[in-house]
Amino acid sequence: MSPAVLRLSGCLAVLVTSVSAAAQTPGAAATHPATAADAEAFIARAESVLAVLAVKQERTDWVASTYITYDTEVLTAEAQAAYSGAVRDLALEARRFAATPMSAVTRRKFALLRLALAAPPPSDPLEAVELTRLKSGMKAEYGRGTWCRAPDACLQITDIERILASSHDPAELAAAWQGWHRIAVPMRDRYTRFVALSNAGARALGFADAGAMWRAGYDMPADSLTAEVNRLWEQLRPLYEQLHAYVRARLVARYGAAVVPPDGLIPGHLLGNLWAQEWSNIYDLVAPSGVPAGVDLTALLRARGLDERGMVRAGERFYVSLGFDSLPVTFWERSQFTKPRDRDVVCHASAWDLDGADDLRIKMCIQVTASDFVTIHHELGHNFYQRAYAGQPFLFQGGANDGFHEAIGDAVALSVTPRYLQRIGLLDTLPSAASDTAALLRIALDKIAFLPFGLALDGWRWGVFAGTITPDRYNAAWWDLKHRYQGVAEPVARSEQDFDPGAKYHVAANVPYLRYFIAHVLQFQFHRAWCRAAGWTGPLYQCSVFGSAAAGAGLARMLQAGQSRPWQEILFAATGDRQMDATALVEYFQPLLVWLERQNRGVPVGW
């Protein structure tokens, strides 16, 4: 073992030992009932230990994501095992304080400690190590994934995504789709084992299964969360069905009824995205005739010579215009902006806070496109959130709920309007009002098209964790949900020899996904509240809060709160709303809904 590995393993061993000591003293072996002071002391030690372990986990995970090798997989698995094991042991020990009187703040910390892991390790040490190695291995395998369409022509995900985005040849699209989805087949048995181990860990903490544990993290009973999600979907479903019908009719006109059934499911490979979750890449196929196209942001970026780093600088300037400080110098030195030529990396865009202080980074394989320009604004939202709540205690350093963390950057990206592009010098002249329909349609092809996918993915995992979806039906159940919610069909025949869910990063890396559905609702609530604070009185889709100190001040207060209070309280303070509400989203797209209903007269709606 190398000196570096010895040093890391030794540090982790010392820290894990300190967790055991923290769990035992004072009071673990004492005969007197635990007091409020005992509880305060326990949670303080827990936060101290976990803060150190979290930094080591983040650093090793960063290396494993930006330099994929066998050794980095092992190192990140060890660090994750140390952190996860510490959380599990502390959460189990914390049960002795269940009846102890304590402050509301401390009580909340105990609750968050119990919910700190997406995959809690089992009590058996060997199984705990197995769980973390399964997770890091599947994530690395996803990052290494390739499709070799010829012996000397192997493509990674960015190249495959480019084919899905640009080709209009159904055969080529189906081949690329199928080529990428093959990467998940070897994960199937390991994922089955991963589910069993995750469930064992969740049950040790008192949950029915890992999915129930995920649903418990929303400051409401799990059944109430399910009802809330269903209520939101019913508010949004009519808008999605109108968009689906319009897109399907245009694809029928392009490819013919033999390829796209006029009243049925849309073949997923024709929608411009490997998972059919966002459809803006096929805008040119579904663009309204006789309507000005509006702004081509990709062309603007390339015409102005803005490179990858310049795009990130533009995103940073947006947040600075709201009153936030610039990102630290180390952000620019340590982030991954483009795909390295010399090694395998995980290209999936992500934002990182490596030390709970100021070592902020993003990891992307940026391309000079409108999509990545918007994604940069999104990822930086995570970074500014992370820095804002860095002053909170360790267990409060997170989004009010996980949907908040995703919604912040997306809400900021809603301000990437023609007016914003003109103000930052990318656009000379504002487009005419006649182009508004085209602009709204382009946004809806991402925002509205995503909604049912956001429900289907975790709907599948909840069933898998609960055992209602068994391994012999993994793939069939996946497509049943995509049929039901998305109205999207598999491009080619599938069987239980396939494992199509694993071809999505969030399944391979075990990242809960309901957060993205929630974020798609919250971002419009945030946007509406910020626009009101900025004094905007026009249509919501035309509003940009770039440069608004009032909008920035409200945002800063929300970010600084972290997860120190129930999200309902933080939402009310930020927006005046006491619950998640899709009416802001419907208001934003109302002109498009009217237009879609007019276009769909005489066209089948639904599937």
Ordered alpha helix ranges (H), 482-548: 505-508, 514-533
Phi, psi of 364 (to 5 degrees): -145, 165
Classify residue 294: in a domain, yes or no.
Answer: no
Classify residue 17: in a domain, yes or no.
Answer: yes
pLDDT at 231: 94
Residue 242 CA to residue 222 CA, distance in Å, equals: 31
Residue pointed to by tokens 């991963």: 194
pLDDT at 26: 40
Confidence of residue 223 (pLDDT cuts 50, 70, 90): confident
Classify residue 86: in a domain, yes or no.
Answer: yes
The whole model's pTM is what? 0.88
Percent of residues, the chain, with pLDDT higher than 90: 81
The domain of 75 spans 3-117
Contact residues for 220 (Cβ-Cβ < 8 A; gap 6+): 228
Classify residue 352: in a domain, yes or no.
Answer: no
CA distance between the termini of the chain: 59
Residue pointed to by tokens 């009002």: 433
pLDDT at 18: 40
Burial group, residue 99, by CB count within 10 angstroms (0-12, 13-18, 19+): exposed
pLDDT at 29: 42
Classify residue 169: in a domain, yes or no.
Answer: no
pLDDT at 80: 86
Residue 474 CA to residue 459 CA, distance in Å, equals: 12
- pLDDT exceeds cutoff 90 at 361: yes
User: pLDDT averaged over the chain?
Assistant: 91
3-class secondary-structure state, position 377? helix
Q: What is the mean pLDDT of residues 593-603?
A: 96
Classify residue 304: in a domain, yes or no.
Answer: no
Burial group, residue 221, by CB count within 10 angstroms (0-12, 13-18, 19+): exposed
Residue 347 CA to residue 366 CA, distance in Å, equals: 9
3-class secondary-structure state, position 427? coil
Beta-bridge mates of residue 360? 353
Q: Which residues of 417-454 are buried (b: 16+ CB within 10 A; e: fewer)?
A: bbebbbeeebbeeebeeebbbbbbbbbbbbbbbbbbbb
Of the ranges 76-90, 494-508, 580-594, which one carries the lowest mean pLDDT score? Answer: 76-90
Residue 54 CA to residue 50 CA, distance in Å, equals: 6
Question: Are 268 and 489 in contact, with CB atoms under 8 Å apart?
Answer: yes
Residue 293 CA to residue 432 CA, distance in Å, equals: 10
- pLDDT exceeds cutoff 50 at 11: no
Measured CA distances, 107 to 219, 395, 396, 563, 606 (Å): 13, 11, 12, 13, 47
- pLDDT exceeds cutoff 90 at 542: yes
Q: What is the mean pLDDT of residues 513-520?
A: 95
- pLDDT exceeds cutoff 60 at 553: yes
pLDDT at 31: 59
The per-residue pLDDT for range 69-80, each reduced to its tens digit, is: 989 888 988 898
Phi, psi of 150 (to 5 degrees): -155, 160
Residue 271 CA to residue 44 CA, distance in Å, equals: 50
Residue 124 CA to residue 566 CA, distance in Å, equals: 33
Residue 555 CA to residue 105 CA, distance in Å, equals: 23
Confidence of residue 84 (pLDDT cuts 50, 70, 90): confident
Measured CA distances, 141 to 66, 190, 461, 536 (Å): 13, 12, 20, 47
**237-243: long-range contacts at Cβ-Cβ below 8 A with a sequence spacing of 24 or more?**
238/593, 239/444, 239/448, 239/586, 239/589, 239/593, 240/448, 240/449, 240/451, 240/452, 241/487, 241/605, 241/606, 242/593, 242/596, 242/597, 242/600, 242/605, 243/444, 243/445, 243/448, 243/449, 243/596
- pLDDT exceeds cutoff 80 at 6: no
The per-residue pLDDT for range 458-479, each reduced to its tens digit, is: 999 999 999 999 999 999 999 9
DSSP code at position 293: -
Classify residue 97: in a domain, yes or no.
Answer: yes
Helix-then-strand count for the chain, H and E: 24, 6
Confidence of residue 9 (pLDDT cuts 50, 70, 90): very low
Residue pointed to by tokens 């360790």: 394
Contact residues for 18 (Cβ-Cβ < 8 A; gap 6+): 49
Of the ranges 29-38, 182-191, 339-348, 585-594, which one carries the lowest mean pLDDT score? Answer: 29-38
Residue 599 CA to residue 595 CA, distance in Å, equals: 6
Classify residue 376: in a domain, yes or no.
Answer: no
Q: How many domains does the chain have?
A: 1
DSSP code at position 307: -
3-class secondary-structure state, position 329? helix
